[in-house]
């Protein structure tokens, strides 16, 4: 026992300092997009490649829907440039639309009554509604020693009866439709819903497939949208801390 205590003392603090200190993302990380006007792209004689998932449109001088975007960078020629900013989560679906000179949006804190209730202890029941396991894997990373999601009072639980909110990944397939609704109904009110990843937000690469329902917000109200395919753990944690008003 003494040896174990000595070893632990020597190891020191293993949890990363975030959010007390900012995270440094690698240069290749594709984060918040900056969309240039079509006129500027024309002046530079560079044209954006058509988005295979319909995330980029030319309407309004050019617009990128982060809810549909897989951050594959196929559209990055001329009009779209991805920064290394991982702060992507928002509380309204329309705030995922990014155009030339668009105002930057972040997730807003929960209403005061919910913040008093969930601010120190927030439990989620996760439902993989047909996901590929990428979003689930990056969510699970937050429970490791480096991130230690539990230090913020946030945990994932095995039963919806013990949960305060529903965590949804995947495009919501027909086979998972009823299971998702049943889980949502089993969570005691008041409750919140998080759509994690492009699939849960809008169907992702499975958009308009006859076997998927193109995300969750057509079935139940969503309180937090976390874009990405999959979202980086930093993006996920940033969104959670913002709705709990833990980022200053």
Q: What is the pLDDT of residues 113-150, one digit of tens each?
A: 999 999 999 999 999 999 899 999 999 999 998 899 99
Q: What is the pLDDT of residue 39?
A: 52
Pick out the chain residues at pLDDT < 70: 13, 37-49, 59-61, 76-78, 248
For strands 165-169 and 122-128, give the pairing: parallel
* Three-state secondary structure call for residue 116: helix
Q: Tell me how far apart the alpha carbons of residues 165 and 191 are, in angstroms, rounded to a whole number.
A: 5
Determine whether 63 is exposed, middle or buried from the number of CB atoms within 10 Å of its CB (0-12, 13-18, 19+).
middle
Q: Tell me how far apart the alpha carbons of residues 71 and 229 are, in angstroms, rounded to a whole number.
A: 7
What's the gap between Cα 192 and its chain centre?
Answer: 14
Place of tokens 């949006």: 105
Q: What is the pLDDT of residue 60?
A: 62
Q: What is the DSSP letter of 151?
A: G
Give bridge partners of residue 124 from the DSSP assignment: 156, 165
Q: Tell me how far apart the alpha carbons of residues 72 and 74 are, in angstroms, rounded to a whole number.
A: 6
Q: What is the pLDDT of residue 43?
A: 46
Q: Tell me how far apart the alpha carbons of residues 237 and 248 are, in angstroms, rounded to a whole number.
A: 14
Q: What is the pLDDT of residue 9?
A: 79
pTM (2 d.p.)? 0.90
Which of left, alpha, beta for 172 (phi over 0: left; psi -120 to 50: alpha)? left
């Amino acid at each position: 026992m003494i040896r174990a205590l000595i070893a632990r003392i020597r190891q020191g603090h293993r949890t990363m300092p975030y959010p007390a200190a900012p995270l440094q993302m690698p240069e290749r990380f594709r984060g918040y997009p900056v969309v240039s006007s079509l006129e500027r792209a024309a002046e530079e004689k560079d044209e954006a490649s058509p988005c295979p998932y319909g995330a980029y449109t030319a309407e309004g001088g050019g617009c990128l829907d982060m809810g549909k975007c897989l951050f594959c960078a196929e559209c990055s020629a001329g009009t779209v440039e991805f920064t290394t900013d991982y702060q992507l989560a928002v509380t309204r679906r329309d705030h995922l639309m990014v155009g030339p000179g668009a105002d930057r949006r972040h997730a807003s804190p929960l209403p005061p009554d919910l913040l008093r209730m969930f601010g120190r202890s927030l439990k989620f029941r996760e439902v993989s509604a047909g996901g590929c396991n990428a979003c689930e894997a990056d969510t699970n990373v937050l429970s490791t020693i480096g991130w230690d999601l539990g230090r913020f009072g946030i945990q994932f639980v095995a039963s919806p009866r013990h949960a305060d909110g529903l965590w949804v990944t995947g495009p919501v397939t027909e086979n998972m439709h009823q299971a998702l609704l049943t889980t949502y109904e089993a969570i005691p009110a008041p409750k919140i819903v998080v759509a994690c990843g492009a699939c849960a937000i809008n169907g992702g690469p499975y958009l308009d497939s006859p076997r998927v329902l193109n995300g969750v917000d057509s079935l139940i109200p969503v309180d937090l949208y976390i874009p990405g395919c999959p979202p980086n753990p930093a993006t996920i944690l940033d969104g959670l801390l913002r709705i709990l008003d833990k980022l200053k």
